[in-house]
Amino acid sequence: MRDRLRQLNARRAEGGKPPLRNGIGIHTGTVLAGNIGSAERLTYALVGDAVNLASRIQALNKDLGTEMLVSEATRSRVTGPAALEALPAVRVKGKSAEVSVYRAA
């Protein structure tokens, strides 16, 4: 995803257009996934606290000037080498405790 955005931004730069940015938030947890709706309008959705926290972590990218953030729950499950830099814990909406996040290279 990040490579494709770099390619797109290179083409935009050639056309004199400003670059686009996106933020990625990765969190690990239990979610409810499935189709919601009726036969006329069916939508696939994910719901649960893990989805909400991933969204909050993604939103932190703008304030922190980062591209990809990973939660502690995800970092603790990484078994191979990973370039993750610990950032100061942050408060996010819906959580009483601070959340540990890591910048992914």
Domains of the chain: 22-104 (3.30.70.1230)
**Per-residue pLDDT reduced to its tens digit, 70-103:** 999 999 999 888 889 999 999 998 888 999 999 9
**Percentage above 70 pLDDT, the chain:** 100
Task: Dig out the tokens for 19 from the structure.
Answer: 């670059």
* pLDDT level of residue 10 (50, 70, 90 thresholds): very high
- Angle value at C-alpha 47, between 44 and 49, nearest 5 degrees: 160
d(CA 105, CA 66): 9
CB atoms within 10 A of CB 55: 14
Are the C-beta atoms of 60 and 90 separated by less than 8 Å?
Answer: yes
**Per-residue pLDDT reduced to its tens digit, 12-22:** 999 999 999 99
Mean pLDDT of the chain: 93
Kindly report which listed range (18-27, 50-59, 77-86) carries the lowest average pLDDT score.
Answer: 77-86
